[in-house]
């Protein structure tokens, strides 16, 4: 009777291991596809940047137009938040609309409602759109590069989620494998 219970417990554990292995293989496939997608998007974005530099001249679109680390009013358009879900970290991006709403609230806190206008703080909100760093009449290929790199960020977050889940599944597999060996 005891051997029947052990064999049924082993078969349940072995079935769990089989399911984990299948899940791991699917996650590995998704991870590889995600990496290929990132590579393709980066290549496309870089080609669009090269096209924009060719059209406008290499001095009009270069790293000299980028603000430095100490520039006021420059904030990230995308932020990543993380949460613990099912034992592994899940990442998600906060969309620009939510970010803009929080920016408006934060800037409203900086405004002094008194009649003295000299005490209001200037946050340097003039360059919220990074495309404007390169002028107002920028080529369409530069706008396309911006969109491509933004989509690439979404794919990178997806890839991080897959990698986190894959690590969690591998850890589960190792633990269950140790349980069988005991």
What is the rounded average pLDDT of the residues 25-37? 97
Least reliable range by pLDDT among 70-79, 133-142, 151-160:
70-79
Q: Work out the number of other CB atoms within 10 angstroms of the CB of residue 88.
A: 16
How does residue 85 score in pLDDT terms, banded at 50, 70 and 90? confident
* Burial tier of 56 (Cβ tally within 10 Å: 0-12, 13-18, 19+): middle
Q: How many domains does the chain have?
A: 1
Nearest-angstrom CA–CA distance, 152 and 140: 18
Which range of residues forms the domain containing residue 152? 2-63+91-181
Q: How many residues does the chain have?
A: 182
In a domain, 142, yes or no: yes
Nearest-angstrom CA–CA distance, 50 and 58: 9
pTM: 0.69
In a domain, 165, yes or no: yes
In a domain, 97, yes or no: yes
């Amino acid at each position: 009777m005891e051997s029947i219970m052990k064999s049924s417990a082993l078969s349940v554990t072995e079935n769990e291991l089989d399911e984990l292995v299948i899940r791991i293989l699917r996650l590995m496939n998704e991870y590889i596809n995600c990496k290929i997608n990132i590579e393709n998007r980066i290549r496309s974005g870089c080609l669009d940047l090269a096209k924009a530099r060719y059209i406008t001249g290499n001095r009009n679109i270069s790293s000299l137009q980028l603000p430095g680390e100490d520039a006021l009013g420059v904030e990230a358009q995308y932020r990543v938040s993380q949460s613990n879900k099912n034992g592994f970290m899940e990442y998600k991006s906060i969309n620009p609309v939510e970010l803009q709403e929080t920016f408006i609230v934060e800037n409203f806190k900086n405004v002094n409602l008194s009649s003295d206008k000299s005490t209001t703080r200037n946050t340097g909100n003039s360059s919220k759109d990074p495309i404007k760093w390169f002028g107002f009449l920028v080529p369409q290929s530069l706008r396309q590069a911006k969109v491509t790199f933004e989509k690439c960020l979404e794919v990178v977050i997806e890839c991080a989620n897959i990698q986190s889940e894959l690590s969690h599944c591998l850890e589960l597999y190792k633990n269950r494998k140790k349980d069988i060996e005991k």
